[in-house]
Amino acid sequence: MPSDFTRLTGLRQVLDYPTTATTRRQGPAAAPGEPPDRLALLCPGHSEALPERPGTPADADGLSLSCGSVLGYRSIEQLLQSHADLWLTPLTWVAPKAHAWAWPEVLDQADRVLRARLGEDSADEDETLQSIAMMLGTASRNAAEGDLYQATVPLAYCETLAQRL
């Protein structure tokens, strides 16, 4: 496992599974000779059930994180694009390309779309969607203040919640 936690750009929970991880799969390196861009921590069952995941199984080095935890070492731009691909665009229909990948604009528009959606469905408000909207608003404000790194923190929580929709 990389010991350089200063490169860590994200901790995501891609599975909602309460078992402690005992194996890891390393993602591909960003460039030849570089460390992996992500480490996925998985229980034995998920590690064996997901052979198509990049990387190789390895010892979890004594970490006690939940199965599905992913330590990310990608650039902020790559991390934001991943959030857009996995849940933000499918949930809000806001595509980063339409905003020339200007992330403060993307997150602001997604926040507006989600809040409008919640306003229309006020009689049948979903707690999960409300929570995503609250955290997306925080991410949007962080991005507007110029802190894209900090914006990724609530986005990671949104990704975890979006799995429940």
In sequence order, what are the residues at sequence separation of 6 or more whose Cβ sits closer than 8 angstroms to the Cβ of residue 139? 107, 111, 151, 152, 153, 154, 155, 158
Q: Are 95 and 89 in contact (CB under 8 A)?
A: yes
| pLDDT, mean of residues 99-127 | 85
Domain ranges, ordered by start, for the chain: 5-72, 76-162
| Length reported for the chain | 165
Tens of pLDDT, residues 59-112:
545 557 788 888 888 889 988 999 999 999 999 999 999 999 899 999 999 999
In which band, very low, low, confident or very high, does the pLDDT at 4 lie, cut at 50, 70 and 90? low
Three-state DSSP class for residue 70: strand
Q: What is the mean pLDDT of residues 35-62?
A: 68
Amino acid at 145: E
- Report d(CA 60, CA 39) in Å as an integer: 10
Residues forming beta bridges with residue 25, ordered by sequence position: 40, 57
% of the chain with per-residue pLDDT over 70: 82
DSSP-derived letter for residue 53 is S
What amino acid occupies position 123?
A
Q: What is the pTM of this model?
A: 0.76
Query: Token pair of 145, please?
Result: 């203040």
Query: From residue 101, how far is each of 73, 81, 107 by CA, in Å?
Result: 20, 9, 10
Sign of dihedral through CA atoms 104, 157, 61, 25? negative
In this prediction, residues 36-50 reach a mean pLDDT of 77
